[in-house]
């Protein structure tokens, strides 16, 4: 069950009497109601159905290119490094460059903990420094392998004082199509836990739905190509509906072992 916080701006009497307070509150309620409708529509009918709930949503086509390297020291300890370049505006303008590193401890085949750091360069000047902690729970059902990822981030955003904690939940599954090819599917929700009055909205912020095909190019390399739909709730601008072509190069230094870690 997914619970969305619909915390309107009009919560005090002074907001009702302040000029424009009621208008802002109603607008906030409508935007959050639209966000809830989009999430439900995504789960039931996909991105095309979800976009129909909003008339002022900003559409875009983007390309995200990612390279990931994982190194295992033994059966428990490992590290990973990742870089990603994102191009927006119909794949014409550099949007973001992300660098991410993490350390992980695997208790067994189904439970793993990780901590790390992410730096995000953003073309609009709102760069982010993000320490994070995450939990992985894995299980299998028939031929499907599932990974549940819960991450807590501490977002330090340029131009905004203090930190904005964000909670993320992702479920990811892979299905072998042959000894060489596989299919991947994931769904992710992101929630900001505080409201700074500027920058990212509080509560529900993003939904990401991804589907892709991968190939085991070698015992050390996977190549994955897919489509990602990102819906993002904005504070004052039109909400975003981004259609992303995602290309991933996934390396491992241990032959034949490819960890399932998603998200950036």
pLDDT tens digits, 12-53: 444 444 444 444 454 555 555 555 555 555 555 555 545 545
Q: What percent of the chain has pLDDT over 90?
A: 72
Strands 93-106 and 221-232: unpaired
Q: Is the pLDDT of residue 250 over 90?
A: yes
Predicted TM-score of the model (pTM): 0.80
**What local confidence, expressed as pLDDT, does residue 89 receive?**
97
Residue 152 has pLDDT above 70, yes or no: yes
Confidence of residue 254 (pLDDT cuts 50, 70, 90): confident
> Which residues lie across from 101 on neighbouring strands?
81, 117
- 124-139: per-residue pLDDT in tens? 999 999 999 999 999 9
- pLDDT given at position 6: 41
Tokens, residue 76 = 């428990």
DSSP, res 157: E
Instruction: Give the model's pLDDT for residue 198.
Output: 94
Query: Is 57 or 45 the better-scoring residue by pLDDT?
Result: 57
Mean pLDDT on 159-179: 96
Residues 6+ apart with CB under 8 A from 206: 188, 189, 190, 230, 231, 232, 233
218 vs 55, residue with greater confidence: 218
Q: How far apart are CA 171 and CA 149, in angstroms?
A: 6
**What is residue 27's DSSP assignment?**
H
pLDDT in tens, 232-249: 999 989 999 999 999 999
Tokens 């900001």 correspond to 192
Average pLDDT over residues 81-87: 98
What confidence score (pLDDT) does residue 143 get?
A: 85
């Amino acid at each position: 069950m997914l619970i969305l916080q619909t915390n309107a701006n009009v919560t005090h009497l002074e907001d009702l009497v302040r000029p424009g307070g009621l208008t802002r509150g109603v607008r906030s309620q409508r935007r959050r109601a639209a966000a809830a409708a989009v999430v439900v529509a995504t789960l039931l009918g996909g991105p095309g159905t979800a976009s129909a709930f909003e008339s002022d949503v900003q559409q875009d086509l983007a390309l995200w290119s990612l390279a990931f390297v994982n190194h295992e020291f033994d059966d428990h300890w490992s590290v990973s490094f990742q870089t990603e370049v994102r191009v927006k505006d119909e794949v014409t303008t550099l949007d973001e460059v992300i660098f991410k590193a993490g350390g992980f401890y695997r208790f067994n085949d189904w439970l793993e903990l990780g901590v790390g750091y992410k730096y995000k360069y953003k073309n609009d000047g709102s760069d982010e420094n993000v320490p994070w902690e995450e939990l992985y729970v894995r299980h299998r059902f028939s031929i499907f392998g599932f990974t549940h990822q819960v991450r807590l981030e501490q977002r330090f955003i340029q131009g905004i004082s203090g930190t904005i904690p964000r909670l993320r939940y992702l479920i990811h599954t892979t299905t072998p199509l042959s000894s060489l090819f596989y299919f991947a599917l994931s769904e992710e929700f992101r929630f900001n836990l505080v409201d700074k009055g500027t920058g990212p909205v509080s509560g529900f912020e993003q939904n990401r739905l991804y589907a892709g095909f991968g190939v085991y190019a070698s015992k050390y390399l996977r190549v994955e190509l897919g489509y990602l739909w990102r819906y993002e709730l904005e504070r004052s601008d039109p909400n975003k509906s981004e259609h992303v072509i995602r290309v991933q190069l996934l390396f491992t230094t241990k032959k034949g072992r490819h960890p399932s870690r998603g998200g950036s």
